[in-house]
Structures are given as structure tokens and as C-alpha cells.
């Protein structure tokens, strides 16, 4: 069986219910491989001009069977030994996860990037912003490699540096720069980890901080100690859900549309605000809705619904629990045999947990199989290619953040690393 054919079967699909059949194919099937972010949940999102494109890799990888790729990855890793460390996000395919030296959520992987300073290369099986973060935090001599340069994140691309700078200029014009009686600056910028290194640097330069889904509450507390309000980008849902759980009313969280003056808001609404939310979202998590929760409860009276905080607020409100990918994993692992979970996060991770816990019933809230199409682009063919090039002494697909950007981004990332997840 070729890798292309095998891959079609790697994600179980009930009744053929998949958001787009192409999403289950290897990344080199189809046109070059896809024009935008590709089929799947983020298919409708615009890919920015100038985003890295992945060139074709040799046919020997594209035509290899799954077994051959597996053996070649193992052999290359054995040859490289401590010279390489492979990091994998929970949303990666099983065929990649099995080769990861560290598996984790984005916070854990940011930490992991600092733990093997002696390795020459960090191969990051995740998406572009995660590899950038690893490059910033790791030893300067280490090369960070993203196996497929087409693995971006459509949410991260919803906030570009020029639009955020333009927003900041308008807010500075409105609020000035003076601190209040408690020493708090008018606005603290907070960027979600899912953003470019340039935006992390922007936060570092402007008294701000980075957060992940696992420490967003601790980060907002940090920000409110230092600021009267927060500008949160790019994910409106994580910002809204986290602030609401801290007791802030959604009425005090205006949405900033970068295409409109003052983000489409009245001055007074911005003055009264506690959190200004950027108009960004994750297309994968936006698919979840309250109707799916009602259906899960009707079909499984004992079900516990657990969702990622990138889901819209009504979904998080209706769920029994919400948290990062690692929190979801821990809750399910700790549950007794017989527990039933409907999970609102990326389907590849949900299906893996279902296989790992056959004594529990675990299913994705969305009945349509829709993986994150960019995470899915890290196919074993690409992993085998980058590792074998390393064995041959060549670094391909290196992610290198500009020095000045990295210096400022480090300030915001180190503040984040100090904010321990709940
Ligand atoms: P975590 O921070 O929970 O790993 O989530 C990252 C992500 O991209 C979720 O869509
Ligand atoms: Fe980005 Fe959403 Fe994919 Fe996470 S699941 S990497 S936020 S597109």
C-alpha cells in the first residue's frame, strides 16, 4: 500500500462524514498542494501573501509506504541520537506522535524547547508560530526545523503587525500614555501564543505578555495588575471566555475590527472597556455549537462535555468544563472506567484519546470529521525527509526569527513562562 493510499484510512470516518475528502489525503495529493490553507475547517480563511510555501519533496518520500517511512524515521533518529529532539503537538497525527520525544500543548512545548540545549536541531511537529517560539527560546546555536513550511495557523494570520500597530496608535491617541493613581498603564497588550513572532515582540516592547490556553487566566491577572484594560489578540473567543470566567461582563469587551476606524467602536465603549478583543478566531473550534451539546446530552445522559476555550462563548458556557488540550487530556485520563466524554477540540486528538481509553466512551462533539488542516500537513514523509537531510549534514526548512524581533519577543515570552498554568 502506498503512503498516499494508507493515509486515506488513518483517520476513521463514520458514514463518510468528513468536511472535505482532500483533508484526509497526504499533503502532496492535489494541486501544489492546496491554494489556501487547504480543505478542512480553515479552508475559507485567507492565507496571507508572503506566507512560506512548501516546495515539493523527493518522490522517494511521496511514494514510500507508511511502514517504510516509519522505519526510515526511526533509523534517522537512531543515527542522530542526542543531536536531535522531536517535539509534537497533541493535534499531530498518530504516525508523527509515535516519533515525538516530547508531546504536549503549546505551553509545554515552549518549555520543552529549552530543555535540550545540547541538541543541534529541534524538529517541531506543529505549526509555524510554535516553531518560531521554539527558535526564540532555544539556544541560538540550535536549528529549529518545521517539516512542512505550509503548516501555518489561520487564526495566527488574522492579526498582522501593521494592523495591530495601527490599532495601538488609535488607542494611544484615545487614552494617552499616562499611568493612573495605581500606576497602571491605559492598555496592556496580550497576544495569544497563536501569533507571529513580530506580535510577541510588539507585546515585549509595550509592557505586554504572551498567553496560552493553559495560562490565560494567570496572564490576564498579571495584565490587570499593570493595566486598566487589555488589548487581546488574535483569538476573541479565548479572550472573552477567560475574562468572563474572571467576572468581567461581555458588555465590557468590545470587538476590534481592524478594517474600521476605532475598530468599529464608539469612543465611550472603548473608554468603558476592560478587554478589547481582536476580531480573530479558530475555524476548527468555531465549528462547535450548542446544538451539538444538546444532542450529545440527549443521546448520552451521563455525558461530560469538555471543550477548548477557543470555542465560542455559548459553547463554553453550555459545556461542563473548558481548558487547554493538556487539561482535556488530564481530565479524561483521570476519569473512571465507563465515563462518557463529548469533546470540543481537534478531532485527531479526540480519536487518539478514544483509542487509548477503550474503557471510556470518548467522541468528538462535531459529528463531521474535520482535522486542523494545517497541523495535518506534517506528514511522515516530511518528517523522514528533514531527518534524513540532517543525517546527511544539511538543515532544511529552518525557522529563523530575526534577532531584534527575537529579543523583544523573549521579554513577553519569559513573562508568560513565569505565569504558571492553572
Ligand atoms: P493548546 O495551547 O491547548 O495546545 O492549543 C493550541 C492550539 O492551536 C489550539 O487550537
Ligand atoms: Fe490554528 Fe485552530 Fe489549527 Fe490551532 S486548531 S493550529 S488555532 S487553525
DSSP classification of residue 120: S
Strand order in the sheet with 185-192: 209-211, 185-192, 227-233, 275-278, 255-256
Ligand lying closest to the C-alpha of residue 41: 2
Q: What pLDDT is recorded for position 35?
A: 53
Each residue of 296-338: pLDDT tens digit?
999 999 999 999 999 999 999 999 999 999 999 999 999 999 9
Would you say residue 33 has pLDDT above 50? Answer: no
Burial class of residue 73, CB neighbours in 10 A (0-12, 13-18, 19+): buried
Q: What is the pLDDT averaged over residues 404-411?
A: 97
- Distance from Cα 395 to the centre of ligand 2, integer Å: 26
pLDDT at 27 over 80: no
Between 17-21, 97-101, 396-400, the lowest mean confidence (pLDDT) is in 17-21
Give the Cα separation of 318 and 252 in Å (integer). Answer: 21
Q: Is 309 in contact with 216 (CB distance < 8 Å)? A: yes
**pLDDT recorded at residue 44:** 63
> Which residue(s) pair with 121 in the sheet?
84, 143
pLDDT at 80 over 90: yes
Pocket of ligand 2 (CB under 6 A): 42, 127, 153-155, 194, 282, 284, 346, 372, 374-375
* 409 sits in which H/E element: helix 403-418
Angle between helices 380-391 and 66-80 (to 10 degrees): 30
Distance CA(358)–CA(327), nearest Å, equals: 20
Query: What was the pLDDT predicted at 360?
Result: 98
The alpha carbon of 100 and the centre of ligand 1 are apart by a number of angstroms equal to 17
pLDDT at 13: 59
What is the pTM for the complete model shown? 0.94
Task: Tell me how far apart the alpha carbons of residues 114 and 136 are, in angstroms, rounded to a whole number.
Answer: 10
Q: Which of 2-11, 158-167, 358-367 has the lowest mean pLDDT?
A: 2-11
Distance from the alpha carbon of residue 280 to the mean position of ligand 2, in angstroms? 11
Atom of ligand 1 at shortest range from CA of 284? 10
pLDDT in tens, 119-167: 999 999 999 999 999 999 999 999 999 999 989 999 999 999 999 999 9
Ligand nearest to the CA of 105: 1
Pocket probe mutation, ligand 2, options 92, 124, 283, max atoms within 8 Å of Cβ: 283
What is the CA(332)–ligand 1 centre distance, in A? 17
| Residue 224: per-residue pLDDT | 97
Which pLDDT tens digit goes with each residue over 179-190? 999 999 999 999
**Residue 341 reports pLDDT greater than 90:** yes
Alpha carbon 392 to its chain's center: 31
Q: How far is CA 243 from CA 11, 135, 198, 335, in A?
A: 35, 30, 25, 28
Which ligand has an atom closest to residue 216 CA? 1
pLDDT band at residue 8, thresholds of 50, 70 and 90?
very low
Q: Is the pLDDT of residue 31 over 60?
A: no
Reduce the DSSP state of residue 94 to 3 states and report it: helix
DSSP class per residue in 205-236 = HTT-EEE-TTTHHHHHHHHHHHEEEEEEESBH
The CA R_g of the chain, rounded to the nearest whole Å, is 21
Cell of 352: 487518539
Whose Cα sits closest to atom 3 in ligand 2? 372
Separation CA 271–CA 14 (nearest Å): 50
Weakest-pLDDT range from 12-21, 125-134, 266-275? 12-21
d(CA 295, CA 274): 35
Instruction: Output the pLDDT for position 242.
Output: 98
109, 324, 330, 376: which to mutate for ligand 1, most atoms within 8 A of CB?
A: 324
Task: Report pLDDT for 42.
Answer: 61
| pLDDT, position 375 | 92
The per-residue pLDDT for 15 is: 55
Amino acid at each position: 500500500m502506498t503512503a498516499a493510499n494508507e493515509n486515506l484510512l488513518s483517520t476513521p470516518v463514520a458514514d463518510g462524514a468528513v468536511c472535505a475528502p482532500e483533508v484526509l489525503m497526504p499533503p502532496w495529493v492535489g494541486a501544489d498542494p492546496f491554494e489556501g490553507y487547504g480543505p478542512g475547517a480553515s479552508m475559507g480563511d485567507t492565507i496571507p501573501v508572503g506566507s512560506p510555501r512548501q516546495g515539493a519533496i523527493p518522490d522517494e518520500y511521496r511514494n514510500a509506504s507508511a511502514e517504510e517511512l516509519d522505519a526510515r524515521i526511526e533509523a534517522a533518529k537512531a543515527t542522530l541520537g542526542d543531536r536531535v529532539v522531536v517535539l509534537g503537538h497533541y493535534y499531530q497525527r498518530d504516525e508523527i506522535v509515535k516519533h515525538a520525544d516530547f508531546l504536549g500543548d503549546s505551553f509545554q512545548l515552549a518549555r520543552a524547547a529549552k530543555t535540550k540545549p545540547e541538541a543541534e536541531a529541534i524538529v517541531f511537529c506543529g505549526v509555524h508560530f510554535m516553531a518560531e517560539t521554539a527558535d526564540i527560546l532555544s539556544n541560538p546555536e540550535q536549528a529549529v526545523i518545521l517539516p512542512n513550511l505550509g503548516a501555518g495557523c489561520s487564526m495566527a494570520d488574522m492579526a498582522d503587525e501593521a494592523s495591530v500597530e495601527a490599532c495601538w496608535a488609535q488607542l494611544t491617541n484615545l487614552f494617552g500614555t499616562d499611568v493612573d493613581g495605581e500606576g497602571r498603564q491605559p492598555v496592556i497588550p496580550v497576544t495569544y501564543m497563536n501569533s507571529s513572532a513580530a506580535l510577541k515582540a510588539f507585546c515585549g516592547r509595550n509592557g505586554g505578555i504572551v498567553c496560552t490556553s493553559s495560562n490565560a487566566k494567570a496572564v490576564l491577572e498579571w495584565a490587570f495588575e499593570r493595566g486598566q484594560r487589555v488589548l487581546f489578540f488574535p483569538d476573541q473567543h479565548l479572550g472573552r471566555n477567560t475574562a468572563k470566567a474572571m467576572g468581567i461582563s461581555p458588555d465590557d469587551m468590545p470587538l476590534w475590527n481592524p478594517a474600521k476606524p476605532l475598530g468599529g467602536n464608539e469612543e465611550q465603549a472603548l473608554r468603558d472597556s476592560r478587554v478589547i478583543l481582536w476580531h480573530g478566531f479558530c475555524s476548527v473550534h468555531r465549528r462547535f455549537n450548542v446544538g451539538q451539546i444538546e444532542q450529545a446530552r440527549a443521546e448520552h445522559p451521563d455525558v461530560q462535555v469538555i471543550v477548548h476555550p477557543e470555542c465560542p462563548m455559548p459553547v463554553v458556557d453550555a459545556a461542563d468544563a473548558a481548558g487547554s488540550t493538556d487539561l482535556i487530556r488530564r481530565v479524561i485520563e483521570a476519569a473512571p472506567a465507563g465515563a462518557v466524554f463529548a469533546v470540543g477540540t481537534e478531532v485527531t486528538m479526540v480519536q487518539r484519546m478514544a483509542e487509548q481509553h477503550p474503557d471510556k466512551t470518548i467522541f468528538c462533539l462535531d459529528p463531521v470529521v474535520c482535522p486542523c488542516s494545517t497541523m495535518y500537513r506534517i506528514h511522515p514523509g516530511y518528517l523522514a525527509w528533514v531527518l534524513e537531510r540532517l543525517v546527511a549534514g544539511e538543515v532544511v526548512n529552518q525557522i529563523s526569527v530575526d534577532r531584534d524581533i527575537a529579543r523583544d519577543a523573549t521579554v513577553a515570552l519569559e513573562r508568560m513562562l513565569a505565569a504558571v498554568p492553572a
